[in-house]
Structure 1
């Protein structure tokens, strides 16, 4: 039972997931800080409010005392946070990874072998097959002569 648990914990994808969660938490703190300390004050200055949570507040009268408040500024702040997170994820992670992947594919298509990647058995077998086919074609007499 402990052996199975050890194998589960040491699996590559479990460790990768744990790293992703930790990095995600740290990344969230950075993005929240940018929004709270940079974006909110800038937009709050435009709307004359301390933060977006206090901007564009509409009070709806109520029959039972205090009215309900609709906080459009808080919604705008959440949308900005989403857009900032999406932009940072795209420009910091997705775009560079796609660029690296395209370069690797272009290198592979031009026939330049990747020095770090060993040849696979399938590649070697395909080369042997092609060599045998070429040798067989040279030995076979042509009937059109």
Structure 2
């Protein structure tokens, strides 16, 4: 997802556009990996001294609700990344640096064959490990 697309989603849902929200989204777009709220707060504090975790979390919750960011729990804390909107896929997530790699394989049909009597409404597959860069460091 690009910044302008995210801003449009915010406006379309009747939420206020602010420079803080734009800057948060720009940060997600530039990082393009899973990051925690503390990293976001440290980055935002440069332009918005004293920005609170409450403000960060409130916006993260809104962004997640609107589908602008995706969240995952990694090392016992929530981390977030800009949402992927171009095509259906899943992710490999590096446990060390939070970098992601696209997995273009989707096992949902196989899963459905193992669970014939259930209705699956949505799914998300995440594979965790250590990326090449972190492994070689």
Interval containing the TM-score (normalised by the shorter chain): under 0.3
Bigger radius of gyration: 1
Where is the helix percentage greater, Structure 1 or Structure 2? 1
Where is the strand percentage greater, Structure 1 or Structure 2? 2
TM-score when normalising by structure 1: 0.23
TM-score when normalising by structure 2: 0.24
